[in-house]
Structure 1
Amino acid sequence: MAETALSESVVGVPDVWRLRARGCWAEAAALLAPHCADDPVAALRRAEILIEGSFYHLDGWAEAEDALRVAEALAGTDEERGAAASERGFLAYGATLHSVRDRADEARSAFGRSAALLSPGSPGRPLLDFRRGLVAQNIAGNPAAARAAYRRAHAGAVAHGDTFLTSFTWRHLAGLAAADGDLAEARHGFAESLRIRVALGHLVGTAPALLALADVSPDEEAAALRAEAARLFTLLGAIPTWLAPSFPT
């Protein structure tokens, strides 16, 4: 959960995760803003939240970039610099994926820098592995490398108790299984991803998880899953933006 990763000065802000999980990234970032002048962990978390919001809204990239620069300037340890580099790579990946600007080389460079800075046992390594898997799958077109990275990320997330990250590793491993025609494995992974997101109250990530499971489910079950996804999509104000084609009006 987001709050538990914050430094002591920010732990007293109880609503950050609740807002983030409901797609209120600007409001969550605003709660962190007063702490960001001298707290590198708070500054990095604020940048992370705004970057995540950019992925869901397909907008707000410049504000996320500004927040990341603040976090990079405050980072004072290898762990902090490595985490900031991971966010830099993720932001560059997002800009490339969503055709804002081709920053693929920047993403790879930043992830390489992050890997050099984060210790092998760092709790940030699984997230870095996952993000490198995204680049391998969606930019390099290398599903084998993506699968290996997702598996490392999944094992690391489980070892560090990062349940939120496992909802993503399950989902992406399931997507690769579906592409290979292994529908049983795909259903299992998508179901696990959905179960975790519901348990964590991650509403903004639940509609995509429902649709992914629907794609590999029998027709009657799939219809119910898609109907619930549509309900959540409407409830959250048509977020994630990139799901809109799934719900024609």
Structure 2
Amino acid sequence: MTDTALSESVVGVPDVWRLRARGCWAEAAALLAPFCAEDAGAALLRAELLVESCFYHVAGWAEAEDALRTAEAVAHSDEERGGAASERGYLAYGATVFAVHDRADEASAAFGRSAALLGPGSPGRPLLDFRRGLVAENIAADPAAARAAYRRAHAGAVAHGDAFLTSFTWRHLAGLAAAEGDLAEARHGYGESLRIRVGLGHLVGTAPALLSCAEVAADPEEAARLRAEAIRLHTLLGGVPTWLTPAPDA
């Protein structure tokens, strides 16, 4: 492999995904770093990895900002600029919901720029719709708008064959159903999310999925089994996501 050609094995499942799925975002980002100055796709993926890490560690915001600036600088097409704007909005959203800084206005503006750049058929549009749903649910406190955005994201993710995003849309639609007392729909959605994550080998996202299933399980013994498996996996991964740490005794 040379420093001038980005190997598909570096970007794809064999390397970056394996590390990402195990919560090794820094290591995955390091594989991409040599290519980011000239390859907009590599720069955007590296920024995405480091932004995602912030959501699991509730730390690393400055490094993610630096990676995002690089991605913004090397983006040339509308698709690349729209993807970078989506990451900008997501990072600002994360800083807001985790009470690092109130950047809600920045998140809204960045998502608006992204929407103007990514057409309805863009492969990046479902992820943008999902993230705008997060803002509607967790900042604007508008579950109806959130549900509409999640449904658009879900349909788009299915159409584009994006199983990873589909695991998130199922999860968040299930969360809205649970909040409204529709436990049957919540069980279905959480179960689908868990099934996809297990199938993809997304270990770092499996413990939260197990706990969500436990919260709506009809059988107390099944709920206890799911929680025990979540605790085991969370411990195996070194306590990531960090925000699950109090959950075992909840």
Corresponding position: 1:177 with 2:140: no
Q: How does 1:110-129 map to 2 (within 5 A)?
A: 110-129=110-129
Partner of residue 82, structure 1: 82
Q: Is the 8 A contact 1:10 1:32 kept in 2?
A: no
Partners of 2:181 and 2:248 in 1: CA distance? 25
Match of residue 8, structure 2, among 1, 11, 20: 11
Letter of the 1:112 partner, please give it.
G
Q: What letter is aligned with 1:176?
A: L
Aligned to 2:236: 235
Q: Which residue identity lines up with residue 89 of structure 1 in the other structure?
A: G
How many residue pairs align between the two structures?
242
Q: CA RMSD in A?
A: 1.0
Q: Identity across aligned pairs (percent)?
A: 78
How many Å apart are 1:245 and its aligned residue? 1.1
Q: Structure 2 unaligned segments of length 5 or more: list them.
A: none
State the partner residue of 1:225: 226
Structure 2 distance, partners of 1:90, 1:34, is 24
| In 2: Cα distance, 1:115 partner to 1:226 partner | 39
Aligned counterparts of 2:175 and 2:248: Cα–Cα separation in 1: 20
- Match of 2:30, SS state, is helix
Q: Structure 1, residues 13-60: CA drift from partner, whole Å, max 9, x if none?
A: 231000000000000000011111100000000000000001100000
Distance 1:64 1:247 in 2: 29
Residues 54, 61 of structure 2: 8 Å contact kept: yes
TM-score by length of 2: 0.95
* Cα distance between partner residues in 2 of 1:224 and 1:12: 37
**Per-residue deviation, 1:10:** 3.5
Consecutive aligned runs of 4 or more in structure 1 exceeding 2 Å deviation: none
Cα offset, 1:247, TM superposition = 2.2
Q: State the shift of 1:12 in Å.
A: 2.7
SS in 2 for 1:73: helix
